[in-house]
């Protein structure tokens, strides 16, 4: 079994194997052999930041970039979480600047990261990085820098020390947050590990929200490395994946006076990436315009122009609403979608309100504020008048017909409308016609007529829209209606996955309990 020092060295090697540069903190210390800091309170590597800003923003004057680097390094607030949210917005939007060039005044944004060209960024891992805090020197085990900005901290413990497990590392990070808060103003992820176990969490996460990371390139890529930390390093910190994660998978919410930072788990991250790819393929106007990516792990493939983006089945309690927000944000940023409109559909007013509030709190990440259709007429007006963009919330019942309508009127024929269903169930989205009685005001049967499910009405209203479902329960194998609307699975995270990850407790049963449950279900049906 390796020691803590050996684990640290192996960890650094894993980072280097995926393209990170490495320097020892002692060497770049103020009194080191190659100093990159003027004092031990500095946590941003100024020269590295400026050199990357020049690459990413070549049209901005050098003096302006220097000012930006100095400004970013000095958080404005005394409250850590406020500083962290402000910095995250700078990562996403850039830093607004005004400058003179060629005798003219200019206003622009300096980008701190290049999300589109990975090679324009510098990824660096450092150990033994001493920081002067409120109670003396502190030295986190491993710090990850992008363009000189300290975006992640890893705290490691000896795997054979029974008195120093990962939760000792977690507590150490809480101490660091109190004593060297400037380091964490830039933080996007915290990692605790003893090698065998490894968890990642946000700046505000409690123990229960520190989760395992079990994948590398996609949700099916779960290598059986000896150390869980190796999977986390190679899967979470892989440069192109990390940039995508920072851009689309970090959310902030407010609860009273508190700021809560939420980051996606590995199952949410890969599900959203696959769902976005599937949606781009499914929504193409020309069926020959794009070749669908192979998805060998599922029998069904997303066909170009099919309008069926599939179903994301993630078991109850696995963060479906966060997945939906991240999906929306990433899809809206896809150039192929040409500023799409998203219609988020639920089947109950309370769920509609809850999901709408979740999206509203993520307005900064989504770069827009969603709208909520108050009734059927409002929904029709919104969809008919919307020419591009927007996130619209509605219940499925608002697609009901007027009394004198035989079919739903066409509201939009755009190809870049995406209907996102919260819970894709047969009872809500069946297409089959039913023969029902027509009664007058006295209840007397005067005839019969065919009625259709809400899926038919939605398709009539938006005939070129693509459909995707997010659900916490599996689709019945015989449920052809749901598959006819959405297609098959694009991602699965079932109860066993959740149990393996410690996200839920295993469910044990016996024959008596199972019989009792089945009896209750039959009575309910």
CATH number at residue 202: 3.90.1570.50
**Counting runs of H as helices and runs of E as strands, what totals does the chain give?**
18, 21
Q: Which residue has the tokens 């590995």?
A: 266
**Of 325, 313, 357, residue with least CA distance to 248:** 325
Distances (CA, A) of 175 to 39, 133, 139, 201, 204: 21, 11, 12, 16, 13
Cα Rg of the chain, angstroms:
26
- The residue among 152 and 454 whose pLDDT is bigger is 152
Domain-embedded: residue 505 = no
Predicted confidence (pLDDT) per residue in 81-102, tens digit: 999 999 999 999 999 999 988 8
CA distance 108 to 100: 11
Q: What is the pLDDT of residue 517?
A: 54
Question: How high is the pLDDT of residue 438?
Answer: 63
In this predicted model, what pLDDT tens digit does every residue of 388-398 receive, in sequence order?
A: 999 999 998 89
Question: Where is the domain boundary, 262, 281, 304?
Answer: 262
Res 487: pLDDT: 85
What count of other Cβ atoms lies within 10 Å of the Cβ of residue 55? Answer: 14
Which of the listed residues 204, 228, 262 is the one where a domain comes to its end? 262
Residue 503 maps to a domain: no
pLDDT tens digit string along 201-255? 999 999 999 999 999 999 999 999 999 999 999 999 999 999 999 999 999 998 8
Which residue among 243, 262, 281 closes a domain?
262
* Alpha-carbon gap, residue 209 to 134, rounded angstroms: 28
Looking only at the bridges linking them, the beta strands covering 250-255 and 258-263 are antiparallel
Question: Is it the case that residue 294 has pLDDT exceeding 60?
Answer: no
240 found inside a domain: yes
Partners of 54 in the β-ladder: none
Which residues 6+ apart lie within 8 Å of 388 measured at CB?
338, 339, 340, 341, 414, 416
**Better pLDDT: 523 or 399:** 399
- Asked if 394 and 351 sit in the same domain, the reply is yes
pLDDT value of position 450: 45
pLDDT of 17 above 50: yes
**CATH number of the CATH domain containing 338:** 3.40.50.300
Handedness of CA 199, 200, 206, 209 (dihedral sign): negative
pLDDT category at 525 given cuts 50, 70, 90 is very low
Question: Given a cut of 80, is residue 287 above it in pLDDT?
Answer: no
Q: Which of 23-32, 156-165, 395-404 has the lowest mean pLDDT?
A: 156-165
Of 456 and 151, more confident: 151
Q: How far is CA 338 from CA 171, 249, 309, 408, in A?
A: 46, 21, 17, 26
Q: Is the pLDDT of residue 435 over 60?
A: no
For residue 432, the model assigns a pLDDT of 54
% of residues, the chain, pLDDT over 90: 70
Vertex 445 angle, CA 440 and 446, to 5°: 75
In eight-state DSSP terms, residue 501 is: T
Is residue 415 within 8 A of residue 464, CB to CB? The reply is yes
What integer is the mean pLDDT of 456-471?
91
Q: Where on the phi/psi map is residue 61: left (φ > 0), alpha (ψ -120 to 50), or beta?
A: beta
**pLDDT at 431 > cutoff 70:** no
Nearest to 15 by CA among 172, 169, 242, 201: 242
Asked if residue 506 belongs to a domain, the reply is no
pLDDT at 296: 41
How many distinct structural domains can be found in the chain?
A: 2
What is the predicted pLDDT for the residue at 303? 84
Asked if residue 146 and residue 51 are part of one domain, the reply reads: yes
In a domain, 110, yes or no: yes
With beta carbons less than 8 A apart as the criterion, state whether 144 and 151 touch.
Answer: yes
Among 235-249, 472-486, 499-513, where is mean pLDDT lowest? 499-513
What distance separates the 2 farthest-apart alpha carbons in the chain? 95
In a domain, 342, yes or no: yes
Let me know whether 62 and 180 are in one domain.
yes
Residue 12 counted as domain residue = yes
The domain containing residue 177 runs over which residues? 4-262
308-355 tens-digit pLDDT: 999 999 988 889 999 999 999 999 999 999 999 999 999 889 999 999
Q: Which residue has the tokens 């150039």?
A: 335
Q: Are residues 246 and 356 in the same domain?
A: no
Token pair, residue 121, equals: 């960024």
pLDDT at position 290 is 43
Model confidence at 424, in pLDDT bands (50, 70, 90)? low
Q: Angle 239-248/228-236 helices, nearest 10 degrees?
A: 70
- What's the rounded Cα separation, in Å, for the pair 88 and 86? 5
Q: Is the pLDDT of residue 383 over 50?
A: yes
Same domain? 444 vs 355: yes
What pLDDT was estimated at residue 295? 43
Residues 19 and 78 in one domain: yes
Q: ∠ at Cα 198 (277, 221), nearest 5°?
A: 35
Q: What angle in degrees, to the nearest 10, is found between the helix axes of 228-236 and 4-17?
A: 30
Residues 332 and 443 in one domain: yes
φ and ψ at residue 484, rounded to 5 degrees: -65, -30
Q: Report DSSP state, residue 227.
A: -
Are 70 and 201 part of one and the same domain?
yes
Pairing label, strands 371-372, 341-346: unpaired
Per-residue model confidence (pLDDT) at position 293? 46
Split at pLDDT 50, 70, 90, the class of 298 is very low
Whether residues 431 and 355 fall in one domain:
yes
Domain-located, residue 512: no
pLDDT in tens, 172-212: 999 999 999 999 999 999 999 999 999 999 999 999 999 99
Shared domain check, 272 and 257? no
Which pLDDT tens digit goes with each residue over 340-349?
A: 999 999 988 9
Of 88, 87, 83, 44, residue with least CA distance to 66? 44
Higher-scoring residue by pLDDT: 57, 403: 57
Residues 241 and 329 in one domain: no
Q: Which of the four pLDDT bands, split at 50, 70 and 90, describes residue 441? A: confident
Q: For position 479, what pLDDT does the model report?
A: 64
Q: Residue 56 — very low, low, confident or very high, per pLDDT cuts 50/70/90? A: very high
Please tell me whether residues 59 and 164 are part of one structural domain: yes
Identify whether the C-beta of residue 251 lies closer than 8 Å to the C-beta of residue 325.
yes
Q: Please report which confidence band the pLDDT of residue 481 belongs to, taking 50, 70 and 90 as the band edges.
A: low
């Amino acid at each position: 079994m390796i020691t803590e020092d050996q684990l640290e060295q192996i960890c650094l090697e894993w980072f280097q194997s995926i393209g990170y540069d490495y320097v020892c903190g002692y060497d770049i210390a103020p009194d080191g052999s190659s100093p990159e800091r003027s004092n031990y309170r500095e946590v941003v590597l100024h020269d590295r930041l400026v050199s990357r800003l020049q690459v990413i923003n070549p049209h901005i004057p050098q003096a302006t970039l220097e000012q930006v680097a100095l400004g970013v390094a000095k958080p404005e607030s005394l409250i850590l979480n406020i500083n962290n949210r402000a910095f995250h917005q700078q990562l996403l939007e850039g830093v607004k600047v005004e400058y003179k060039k060629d005798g003219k005044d200019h206003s622009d944004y300096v980008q701190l990261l290049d999300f589109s060209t990975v090679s324009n960024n510098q990824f660096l891992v450092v150990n033994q990085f001493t920081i002067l805090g409120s109670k003396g020197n502190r030295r986190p085990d491993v710090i990850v820098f992008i363009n000189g900005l300290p975006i992640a901290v890893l705290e490691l413990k000896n795997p054979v020390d029974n008195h120093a497990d990962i939760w000792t590392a977690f507590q150490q990070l809480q101490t660091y947050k109190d004593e060297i808060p400037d380091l964490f103003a830039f933080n996007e992820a915290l990692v605790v590990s003893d090698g065998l176990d490894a968890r990642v969490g946000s700046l505000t996460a409690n123990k229960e929200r520190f989760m395992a990371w079990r994948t590398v390139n996609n949700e099916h890529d779960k290598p059986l490395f000896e150390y869980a930390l190796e999977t986390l390093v190679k899967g979470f910190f892989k440069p192109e994946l990390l940039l995508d994660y920072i851009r689309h998978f970090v959310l902030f919410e407010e609860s009273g006076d508190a700021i809560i930072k939420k980051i996606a788990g590995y199952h949410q991250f890969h599900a959203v990436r696959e769902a976005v790819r599937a949606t781009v393929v499914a929504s193409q106007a020309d069926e020959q315009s794009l070749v669908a990516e192979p998805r060998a792990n599922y029998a069904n493939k997303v066909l170009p122009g099919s309008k069926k983006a599939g179903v994301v089945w993630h078991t109850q309690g696995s963060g479906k609403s966060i997945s939906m927000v991240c999906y929306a944000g990433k899809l809206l940023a896809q150039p192929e979608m040409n500023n799409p409109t998203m219609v988020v559909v639920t089947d109950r007013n309370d769920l509609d309100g809850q999901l709408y509030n979740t999206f509203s709190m993520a307005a900064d990440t989504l770069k827009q504020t969603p709208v909520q259709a108050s009734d059927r007429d409002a929904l029709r007006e919104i969809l008919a008048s919307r020419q591009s963009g927007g996130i619209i919330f509605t219940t499925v019942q608002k697609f009901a017909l007027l009394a004198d309508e035989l079919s739903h009127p066409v509201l939009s024929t755009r190809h870049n409308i995406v209907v996102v269903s919260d819970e894709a169930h047969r009872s809500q989205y069946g297409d089959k016609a039913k023969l029902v009685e027509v009664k007058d005001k006295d209840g007397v049967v005067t005839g019969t007529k065919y009625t259709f499910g809400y899926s038919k009405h939605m398709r009539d209203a938006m005939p070129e829209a693509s459909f995707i479902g997010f659900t916490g329960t599996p689709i019945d194998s015989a449920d052809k209606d749901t598959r006819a609307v959405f297609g098959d699975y694009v991602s699965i995270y079932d109860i066993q996955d959740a149990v393996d990850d410690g996200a839920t407790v295993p469910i044990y049963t016996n024959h008596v309990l199972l019989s009792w449950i089945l009896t209750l279900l039959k009575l309910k049906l």
